[in-house]
Structures are given as structure tokens and as C-alpha cells.
Amino acid sequence: MGPALGMVLLYGFQHINSYLLLLYHAAISVVGAEMFQHDRRLGQWYLVALFLPLAAVQLAFPGPQSWRALCGFSFYIIFFSVRLRRLCAIYASRLAETRDLEASVQPDSLTGLFNRAAMQNPMDRELKGAADTGRRVALLFIDLDGFKATSDTCSHRTGDLFLCKIADRLNRFAGSGLRVARRGGDEFTLLVTDVKLTISRPALLAFAESVLAAVCVPGSIEGRMCAVTASIGVGMFHDDAPNAEHLIRAADRAMYEAKRTGKRRICAFGARQLLDLHAPRKSPARRTRAP
């Protein structure tokens, strides 16, 4: 009875080991496939790291003893696979974040300026510093008037070249206290962090006027004269907005007000109303300029 029972138990034990090995192979196959999707080289090393120990166990324990060794080793491997799967998920998440960050810091492919995403981090950093020191920060939204018509009349290539010329003019204002970015299409932003420029609205008006004048200068592109104007909206941190999101909204709303009231002008977002920055100068000629 004893030997017969022992043979039955051994037979059942071997079959249990077989099921465990099948489970083990299924586990490493799933994890290995996921790792191959994220990183082919990492997936290859993963499979090598798991199959080599199995081969070593079978060589060290030939015959029926290998079943017992593989049984115990399978529990370790399955546990290791679960842990590695979690690490793989973390690795994939970090890799995606890194790629997004790399994409965000790439310059605009057409103009070479900061792109929309790359401007966000400097803006957040500047606003945090301004909140700590109590200084002002201004954001200018610059939207070109009539650029689409110019691009359609001449050619899209001419329009792109003229857009690069405008970007170069704006980039001349860049410095330690100024950052220029292209938000997309014919829209640009200019972050003003220089205390001397943002100490008051009149000082900011003078600076915005110089930006507008630079944009409105006609330029020759491949033998053709191109000209556009611009509508500029201004928002000020602390005065008009408590954070970056509200500052962007304030400048954007002011820019649309500049377009609505005649284009080729500058409007600032006030706490209670939208202010035409030309109004304090009482210059009707400027207020009625043709688009």
C-alpha cells in the first residue's frame, strides 16, 4: 500500500508541477510581450534572465528531482514576474513623460522660437518668483491681422517666409526679461518679466507700441512686398490674473477685443473692464487707423 500510494502521490505531484510550469510560461509570456512593446532590448534581456535559470536548474537536477526544483523555482519566478511587470509599467510611464518633455522643449519647426508647450514652464517659474517678490509680469498676445489673405495672395511659401521674418523681429525684443513664443498659426506670445517695463501700464503701453510698430513694417519676400498689422492683447499678473491660466485667458480676451474694435491696436485686460491702451494718450488718429 505504501509504495503504491507513493507512486500515486508522485504522479500527482509531477502533474501539479506541470500545471505550475504552464502557469509560469504563461506569466512570463504576458510580461515579456508587454516589455517588448515598451522596449525591445529590455524585453530580450528579460526573457534571457528567466530562461537561463530554468535551464541551469534542469542541468543541476536531472531526472525526477528537477520537477521539485522547478516547482520551487517557479514560485520565485512568478513573484519576480509580477514585480517586474509593475516596474515595467513605471518605466513605460516615465518613458512617456520623458518623450513628452523632450517634445515640449523642441523649438517651433518653422520659426525657431519657443513653441506653446515650451513657454509654459518658464511662465510658471516666472509667476512663482513674481508671487514671492510682489513684482508684476505681463503677457502679450500678438495675432497678425490679414496674414491669411497675404499668404493666399502671394503663396504659402511666401507666407511662411514672412512669418519667419515677423518672428525674427519679435525675437529681437527677447532678452533676460523677455521671452517670445509662437502659439501656432499667426499667433505669438511675449512674456515680459522686466520690472522696469511692467512697473506701470503707461510703461507697458510704450513697449507694446514698439512691438506693434515692428510687426507692421512691410517686408520684401522673394521680390514681393508683404505687409500685415497686428492686434495685441495684454494681461498683467497680480493686476488682472492670479495664476498662469487666468493670465493667458486675460491676454487672449484682450487680443480679441483689439480685433473687434478695429484691429491694429493694443488692448489691456482690466480687473473691471477691457481697456484700450490707446485711450490714455487721447489719439483719435490711432484709434481709427484702418486695418
- Dist. CA 77–CA 65, nearest whole Å: 18
Residues 86 and 139 in one domain: no
Last residue of a domain, one of 82, 104, 126: 104
Last residue of a domain, one of 59, 76, 104: 104
Confirm whether 43 is domain-assigned: yes
Confirm whether 110 is domain-assigned: no
In terms of residue numbers, what domain contains 14? 2-104
* The most confident of 24-33, 140-149, 198-207, by mean pLDDT: 140-149
Confirm whether 143 is domain-assigned: yes
Query: Which helix (H) or strand (E) element contains residue 182?
Result: strand 178-184
- Dist. CA 139–CA 133, nearest whole Å: 18
Per-residue pLDDT tens over the stretch 255-288: 999 999 999 999 988 744 454 444 434 443 333 3
What's the mean pLDDT in 78-92? 63
From 145, 186, 240, 252, the catalytic residue: 186
Confirm whether 111 is domain-assigned: no
Q: Quote the number of domains for the chain.
A: 2
Judge whether 186 counts as a catalytic residue.
yes
Confirm whether 256 is domain-assigned: yes
Per-residue pLDDT tens over the stretch 138-191: 899 999 998 988 888 888 899 999 999 999 999 988 776 788 999 988 999 999
Amino acid at position 6, single letter: G
CATH of the domain at 211: 3.30.70.270
Residues 58 and 130 in one domain: no
Q: Say if CB 228 and CB 145 are below 8 A apart.
A: yes
Residues 244 and 125 in one domain: yes
